[in-house]
Amino acid sequence: MVFKSKSKIALDTISEHMSELFYEKRLSQTLSILNNLGRKLIGSDRCSFWCVDEKSDMLWTMEAHNVEKIVIPKGSGLVGYAVEHNETLIVNKPYKDERFNKDVDKQTGYKTKSILVLPVTNSKNEVIGAYQAVNKLRGGKFKKKDVKSLMLPAVMLGKILESQMLYNSAVEDQLTGLKNRRGFYDFYETYIVSNLSKCRNSVIMCDIDFFKKFNDTYGHNAGDAVLKHVANVFRNNIRVDDGVFRWGGEEFIFLLPNTDVEAAAQLAERLRKAIEDSVCRFEELELRVTMSFGVHEASAELNVEDNVKSADEMLYKAKSNGRNQVQK
């Protein structure tokens, strides 16, 4: 009876908030509401939604309570095990379980005492993500009844993930796995145009420095490997609401809702540094590249082409001033 009562509360809350959030196209807020519902239903300190990224063989958090985005190799940790084996896990002494990834606690400074992981599947019963609850507040241990209580938000998460994946496949750049130009224009109309009068939004344009010379030296297969490597670095360093697209050749473009030019420039600098510090391994080679970034805060007075042009002008300035830098 308790489960039915809590489920009814959850359903009423979802009905009240979901239509507004989906209308406003704010995925992160939708996921946050589902996350908080899961926490309340089972009385856990934290919950997180994990997505399987087949392109980079990684798992990353679409939503994690009180934690920045976490990225782990596919198959690692308890989440990775649950996803790989399509198995629900209840582990109340994680530090005694060899599958537990202690590095995440080291990264976040959080002490994990109990874990529940529920695989999330699509309509074909394929595992596409996971719902993880951490640290049971009352009693300190998760039980089988908690799994039943988490089914509601897990099913909702599965629907959202599947919808996102189906759309992404329709607008995907085949080489990098990022969205293509069609995806860019769809994203701009959906997330940016409706928000231009309500909040600040930014555009980042970037490209790989001396990419033609790189291709001439190492060959186009090596160049393709670098493009895929850069795309993976980008995917692992953006928020769930951000959009990153392959503009063409070695050029990429970002759309950042609810982000002013200063915050966008800070992100661009983090991306620039991440690319500079990273290594792309291709055959027996260890390849390194740098990138230049141009940042522009989108204006409601400009159309999409002119906002992109302004970001491109900042990129040109970065390249003219020596490359491997951010200009705004």
- Phi, psi dihedrals of residue 158, rounded to the nearest 5°: -60, -40
The tokens of 40 are what? Answer: 């309340």
Six token digits for residue 209: 């420095």
Which residues, 6 or more positions from 322, have their beta carbon under 8 angstroms from its beta carbon? none
First to last CA, the chain: 58
Catalytic hit among 54, 250, 276, 297: 250
Known catalytic residue at 84: no
CA distance 159 to 30: 12
Residue 127, classed as helix, strand or coil, is strand
Read off the amino acid at residue 193.
Answer: V
Task: Give the CB-side neighbour count of residue 233, counting CA atoms within 13 A.
Answer: 24
- Phi, psi torsion values for 265, nearest 5 degrees: -65, -35
What's the number of CA atoms in the CB half-sphere (13 Å) around residue 203?
31
Q: Are strands 115-121 and 127-136 parallel, antiparallel or unpaired?
A: antiparallel
Catalytic sites, residue numbers: 250
